[in-house]
Amino acid sequence: MARLLRRLIAPTAPGIQRDTVRLRLDDAAEIEVLRVRDPRARRLKLSVDERGARLTLPTRASLVSGERFLQANRQWLQQQLARFSDDGLLAPPLLLREPGVLPLRGALLPVHWEDGRFTRIEVDEAGAHIQLSARAGEAALRRALREFYEAQTRADVGQWLPKYLPGLARAPARLRLKVMSSQWGSLAPDGSMALDLALVLGRPSAFEYVLVHELCHLLQANHSPAFWAEVQARFPYWEQERDYLRLEGRRLKGTLHQLLQVRA
């Protein structure tokens, strides 16, 4: 199997553990920090990107030392988060039962909060209707958002896939939807396709290009001229969509990350 595919499906390093921790900043705002215990780490490390804040701990570091490290660097963390927000890379979080917008397929839909027996999300010409039960909180809304975006993503794939199947040696074995840090999609040796859930936030033509890109890996497991010829034959304007993702990708991924960490 080509080196590219081996890299795409490389398993997570053994022993890595992930969870989240809450941190209250100086302006009284509360954020969620991704806490990663990594056996490869040699020291405590705090980083910020468009997806938010991340605390990395070596195997032997205690949780208490990590919390102290966060507190000691709280002002720096607040400055970095503000910088990303000012640059337009971090979308404002969706506040529970507060006015806001929901991104979908390149548009920002106004949010309408409604009471109901179940927590669910529907869209129509008026925007996004988020129905919440009386006891629904942040966790329930986060699950509903994830399920909503997964359903919308599968609907788009189901619409586009049939027209690209002719001419392929086989269909994808299955589809997995993931929150990816840098990639937009991947194809495993068994034909399983993975797509980034953030794709459904951007313009549909860019999402369709990524789907075609991964389907063409069923014919060419590389990025050779032969591979790009397959893409060109099926999606002639692929370069425009690639440029769009290079320009807007960080924002789309950061927006999804913020949405899935809804604030109460």
Beta-carbon contacts of residue 239 (< 8 Å; ≥ 6 apart): none
Q: Is the dihedral of CA 115, 116, 121, 125 positive or negative?
A: negative
Task: Write out the two tokens for 121.
Answer: 């999300």
Q: What integer pLDDT is reported at residue 198 of this predicted model? A: 95
Q: What integer pLDDT is reported at residue 27 of this predicted model? A: 61
Task: Write out the two tokens for 140.
Answer: 């329930």
Tell me the pTM.
Answer: 0.70
Q: In 97-120, which positions are buried (b, 16+ CB within 10 angstroms) versus exposed (e)?
A: eeebebbbbbeebebeeeeeeebe
pLDDT digits (tens, 9 = 90+) for 55-108: 898 888 898 998 888 888 888 887 777 766 655 545 567 888 888 889 999 988
Q: Report the mean per-residue pLDDT for the chain.
A: 84
Q: Which percentage of the chain shows pLDDT scores above 90?
A: 42
